[in-house]
Structure 1
C-alpha cells in the first residue's frame, strides 16, 4: 500500500505542479506523509533510528523530485539538471541504505529499481509538461507495476529477515 500511495500521490503532485493547480499544496503535503508512514512500518523491525533515516532519505527523494519538475516547468534547465543529478544520487543513497539494513536486499537490485523508478517518473513528468495526456496516462501502468515490484522485494526481504514476526518457524 505504501508504494502504491507513493506513486499515486507523486503523480497527483506532479500534475498539480505542472498545471499550477490549487491542490498542489495539499497534494504535496499528503505525499510528504508517505515517508513518515514508511518509517512507521519499518520501525517495529529496524528501530526508530533506521526508520527515521529511511524516512529522511525518502522525503529528500520527494522534495528533490518536486524541485526537478518545478524547474522543468519554469524552463530552468541548469537548475533542473542539478536537481536530477541530486535525485539520482539520493536514489543511490537509498539503495545503499537498504542494502545495508537487510541481508536479503541487494544494493545492486535496489539501484536498478530506483533508477527505473526515476526513469519512469521522468517520462511521466515530461509527458505532462508536453501536454501529451495520452502518453502521461499510459505511463501510469508501468509505474504502478514497478512500484509493486519494489513493494514485493521490500516485503519478502522483511519476512525473510524476521520470519518469527510472521509466524514462520525455521
Structure 2
C-alpha cells in the first residue's frame, strides 16, 4: 500500500513539476522547450505502467491517451496565451475542461470507489490552478506564480491519495500482508 501511494504521489508530482517547467520554457521562449515538453509527455506512459498491473494494458493505455491529450492541450493553450491568440486559447481551454470531464468519467467507470463528481472537481481545480500559474507567469508576477505552484503540488498529492485509496479498496487482495 505504501509503495503504491509513493509511486502515485511521485507520478502526480512529476506531472505538475514537468508541467511547470514546460510552461516556464514556453513563456520564456527557452531553448529547452522541446526536450522539456517531451519529458512531460512521458508522464502518461509512466502512469499507464503503474495502472497496468491492476487494470490491464487496454485500460492503462486509454488513461495514458486521455492524460496525453490533457497535456498536449495544455501546451497548446499556453502557446496560444503567450502569442496573444485569444480565440485559440478559448478553444483550447474549452477542450481542456472537456478532457478533464472525460478523465473523471473514465476513472469512475473503471473503479467503483472513484466518484466521477469528485474526480471532475479535482480535475477542474487542477486546471483552474494551472490557469492561474500560467497567467501569473505571463504577467511576470513571480511571487504569485510560486505561491500557486505550491497549491498545485498540494492538490496533486491529494489526487494521488484518492487514486491510491480507490485502488486499494478495489483490489484488497493485492495488498494483503
With structure 1 as the length reference, what TM-score do the two structures score?
A: 0.98
Q: Give 5+ residue unaligned stretches, structure 1.
A: none
Q: Which has the higher contact order (CA 8 A, sep 6+)?
A: 2
Match of 2:115 among 66, 84, 106: 106
Task: Report deviation, 1:120.
Answer: 0.2
Corresponding residue for residue 25 of structure 1: 34
Task: Report deviation, 1:156.
Answer: 0.6
CA distance in 2, matches of 1:133, 1:69: 16
CA distance in 2, matches of 1:27, 1:165: 35
Structure-to-structure mapping, 1:158-169, within 5 angstroms:
158-167=167-176
Corresponding residue for residue 77 of structure 2: 68
Structure-to-structure mapping, 1:10-21, within 5 angstroms:
10-21=19-30
Please list the CA deviations of residues 101-149 of structure 1 after superposition, one character each: whole Å capped at 9, or x if unmatched.
Answer: 0010000000000000000000000000001111101111110110000
Corresponding residue for residue 126 of structure 2: 117
Over aligned residues, Cα RMSD in angstroms? 0.6
Corresponding residue for residue 7 of structure 2: none
Corresponding residue for residue 37 of structure 1: 46
Is the aligned partner of 1:53 residue 2:67? Answer: no
Corresponding residue for residue 132 of structure 1: 141
With structure 2 as the length reference, what TM-score do the two structures score?
A: 0.94
User: Aligned pairs, how many?
Assistant: 168
Please list the CA deviations of residues 71-102 of structure 1 after superposition, one character each: whole Å capped at 9, or x if unmatched.
Answer: 00001000000000000000000000000000
Match of 1:152 among 155, 161, 166: 161
CA distance in 1, matches of 2:24, 2:168: 35
Task: Report deviation, 1:166.
Answer: 1.1
Q: Give 5+ residue unaligned stretches, structure 2.
A: 1-9
